[in-house]
Structure 1
């Protein structure tokens, strides 16, 4: 579920739609959270679909650490990619505002932490040399993203959290401990999906 102070807007013909803030969303605010209306699909089911249906589904899905495809039911599926993203993922099934997001600012994610099945080619952006999102980006950029999430969590208890009640009970104790500085945030690497071929390679090398 997206934060209530967001809306869908048409950008242009090349990009299509995007999600934008309608009011200030301060740094550290839960801006998206997985909820019970979001749909989960096993890989076997997705691959069994008609090609047209499969392509449409994959366009809007991301994969979790178990390899399941997640389809968000609301406007979250329209959040665009940016290497300078305004959101940062956490290992607790929610994303935080990585900076103060002002009215009219676009809500963006770095698709690098979405376990993509194939490379995603991007438009050039300032302040980065990256031009393509790779399926294994999490293995290369996790430290940067962990720091970004940790910095955002420092503001967690000082901002309004209209989506806080949707935190998975399995994570709530840990999140509360991080928010008060008693524990460190877990690495986003825990969200990385190792494909069966990758797991075979790891076992063979060990």
Structure 2
């Protein structure tokens, strides 16, 4: 589920639409969290569908390391990629604002953190030498993402968290301990253990 202070807006002909802040979303806010309304789909089920359905699912869903495709039920599926994202993934099935996101600013994440199967070229961006997302980005950049998440967690309890109630029960104690500085943060790499073990 996306943060309530967001909406879909047109970006460009090349990009299509994206997710934009309607109000200030402070650093440390949960901006997206996996919830029970997200569709969990097997490849076998997807392949049993019609071509139009399959095309949309493969375009908007992401593949978890356990081989399940996740299709967001809300406008989270329109969140665009950036090599300089203002949102950061965590090992707890949510993303946080890695900086203050201003009203009218687009929310972006690094698709490399999704462990995508296919590589794709990206629109050139200032401030980075990266030009494409690869299937192994999570192995290369996880330390950078972890450091951003670690810094962002320092603000977790200092901001309003309208989506905090959706943190999965298995993560609640750990998330609070990390935010309080009482426990080390789990690396995002832990989300890819199944995938790494199959390599």
CA RMSD, Structure 1 to Structure 2 (Å): 1.4
Match of 1:107 in 2: 107
- Which 10-residue stretch deviates more, 39-48 or 116-125? 39-48
Q: Which whole-Å CA distance do the structure 1 matches of 2:83 and 2:137 have between them?
A: 12
Give the total of aligned pairs: 199
1:168 aligns with 2:168: yes
Structure 1 SS opposite 2:107: strand
Q: 1:63·1:193 contact (CA, 8 Å) conserved in 2?
A: no
Residue correspondence of structure 1 range 21-170 to structure 2 within 5 A: 21-170=21-170
Q: Which whole-Å CA distance do the structure 1 matches of 2:183 and 2:43 have between them?
A: 35
Instruction: Give a deviation string over 1:124-160, Cα, whole Å, max 9, x none.
Output: 0011100100011000000000001111101000000
Instruction: Give a deviation string over 1:92-124, Cα, whole Å, max 9, x none.
Output: 111000111011110001000112120021010
**For structure 1, which runs of at least 5 residues remain unmatched after alignment?**
none
- 1:193 Cα offset (Å): 6.3
Q: Which whole-Å CA distance do the structure 2 matches of 1:14 and 1:184 have between them?
A: 41
Q: Which whole-Å CA distance do the structure 2 matches of 1:194 and 1:135 have between them?
A: 15
1:15 aligns with 2:15: yes
**For structure 2, which runs of at least 5 residues remain unmatched after alignment?**
none
- 1:44 Cα offset (Å): 2.4
- 1:70 Cα offset (Å): 0.4
- 1:12 Cα offset (Å): 1.8
Structure 1 SS opposite 2:73: coil
- 1:67 Cα offset (Å): 2.0
Q: TM-score if structure 2 supplies the norm length?
A: 0.95
- 1:10 Cα offset (Å): 0.9
Q: TM-score if structure 1 supplies the norm length?
A: 0.92
- 1:199 Cα offset (Å): 4.3
Q: Which whole-Å CA distance do the structure 2 matches of 1:50 and 1:199 have between them?
A: 33
Q: Which whole-Å CA distance do the structure 1 matches of 2:88 and 2:48 have between them?
A: 32
